[in-house]
Amino acid sequence: MDEQKNIPRVVLVGLASCFGCQINITNVEAHLMEVLGQVDMRYWQLTSSEPMPDAFDVAVVEGAVTTEDAAETLRRVREKARAVITIGACAATAGIPGMAAAAYEGRAAQVYGSAVPAIIDDIACRPRPVSDVIAVDYEVPCCPIDPYDFVRVLQKALYGANPYERTSTLCGECKRNERGCFYGRGIMCLGLVTRQGCGARCPDLGRPCNGCGGVSVDANVEGARRVAQRSGIDPARFDKALEMFNQVPREVQR
Ligand code: SF4
Ligand code: SF4
Ligand code: SF4
């Protein structure tokens, strides 16, 4: 907290990501200006070439952890921040960078043969979510994030409100939108096992869910495979689709 002005100091850090969630934040200019008026934005990696400052109150983190350097940055962030918010699937589940997790072993040897530079072992690590390295207080899920969801969660963090853990699967939200189910048409949708919170926005737009919200702790994955099979979908295809955002085991995610 800036003692003189009583304004929370915020930093926004990017790890392994496409920076799409950071960019998406800029898509809600009107609300953003309201929120930015409440904070002292000390560092925004996307817009700054300065190093991260030493003192701040709230840290927003985008991206997966793929290097030891990133893990060290997170530990520093956790030491200083009273609240840590992750934004996007990359930070929450390792997301797209996490797709490299299963094939991580031996990848350097595939590229460098028998002459793997020692520095590769020093800097690279298996992709993992932020919560596998430090405790996370709040999370804005999905790929990309909903910027309005970000504004809402940031305000909670600023005022120290209790985080709300979303656990149910997406189907409830989808039903509230009064949409039919893709499975009735033999089309695979990962909403059966994906955490609610996005308002089932893809099914609402006529597209099946691809699981970017992460697997719900309440999900019955085995039951979902059976539903897929009954609709003529090979359960192996269901598993493969689920890997896109959920390579890292659920217990390692938040
Ligand atoms: S969650 Fe998606 S949009 Fe956000 S940084 Fe990762 S890949 Fe990009
Ligand atoms: S499986 Fe998909 S389309 Fe069907 S109810 Fe769930 S979210 Fe909606
Ligand atoms: S419907 Fe599924 S894929 Fe679409 S934003 Fe929500 S969680 Fe992500």
90 lines ligand 3 (CB under 6 A): no
Least trusted range by pLDDT, from 5-9, 71-75, 139-143, 229-233: 5-9
The number of the ligand 3 atom at minimal distance from the alpha carbon of 89 is 8
Q: Which residue has the tokens 């005022």?
A: 159
Mean pLDDT of 227-231: 96
Instruction: Give 153's contacts (C-beta < 8 A, 6+ positions apart).
Output: 85, 138, 139, 140
- Measured in degrees and rounded to the nearest 5, phi and psi for residue 103 equal -100, 20
Pocket probe for ligand 2: among 181, 188, 207, 226, the residue whose CB has the most ligand atoms within 8 Å is 181
According to DSSP, residue 46 is labeled: G
Mean pLDDT of 100-110: 79
User: In this predicted structure, what is the pLDDT of residue 252?
Assistant: 45
pLDDT > 60? residue 114: yes
Pocket probe for ligand 2: among 173, 175, 192, 193, the residue whose CB has the most ligand atoms within 8 Å is 192
Q: Residues near ligand 1 with C-beta < 6 Å?
A: 17-18, 20-21, 62, 88-90, 95-96, 143-144
* Neighbour-count burial of 231, counting CB atoms closer than 10 A to its CB (0-12 exposed, 13-18 middle, 19+ buried): middle
Least trusted range by pLDDT, from 95-109, 127-141, 172-186: 95-109
Mean pLDDT of 94-101: 88
127-162 pLDDT tens trace: 999 999 999 999 999 999 999 899 889 989 988 888
Q: 64, 143, 140: which is closest to 101 by C-alpha? A: 64
Q: Label residue 174 by pLDDT band (50, 70, 90).
A: very high
- Report cis status (omega within 30 of 0) of the bond before 208: no
Mean pLDDT of 117-134: 84
46/242: higher pLDDT: 242
- Highest mean pLDDT range out of 49-53, 99-103, 122-126, 168-172? 168-172
The number of the ligand 1 atom at minimal distance from the alpha carbon of 96 is 7
pLDDT > 80? residue 217: yes
| Residue range 9-159, CATH number | 3.40.50.700
Look at the pTM and tell me if it is higher than 0.75.
yes
Strands in the chain per DSSP E: 9-14, 40-44, 58-62, 65-67, 83-87, 124-128, 138-140
According to DSSP, residue 95 is labeled: T
Distance 170 CA to ligand 2 centre (A): 7
- Could you give the CA distance from residue 249 to residue 11 in angstroms, rounded to a whole number? 29
Do the beta carbons of residue 39 and residue 10 sit within 8 Å? yes
Domain ranges in the chain?
9-159, 171-253
Instruction: Give 56's contacts (C-beta < 8 A, 6+ positions apart).
Output: 9, 10, 11, 42, 43, 80, 81
* Neighbour-count burial of 201, counting CB atoms closer than 10 A to its CB (0-12 exposed, 13-18 middle, 19+ buried): middle
From the CA of 185, the nearest ligand is 2
Q: Which residue has the tokens 């699981």?
A: 211
* Neighbour-count burial of 40, counting CB atoms closer than 10 A to its CB (0-12 exposed, 13-18 middle, 19+ buried): middle
Do the beta carbons of residue 15 and residue 69 sit within 8 Å? no
* Token pair belonging to 249: 């085991």
Q: 2, 32, 30: which is closest to 12 by C-alpha? A: 32
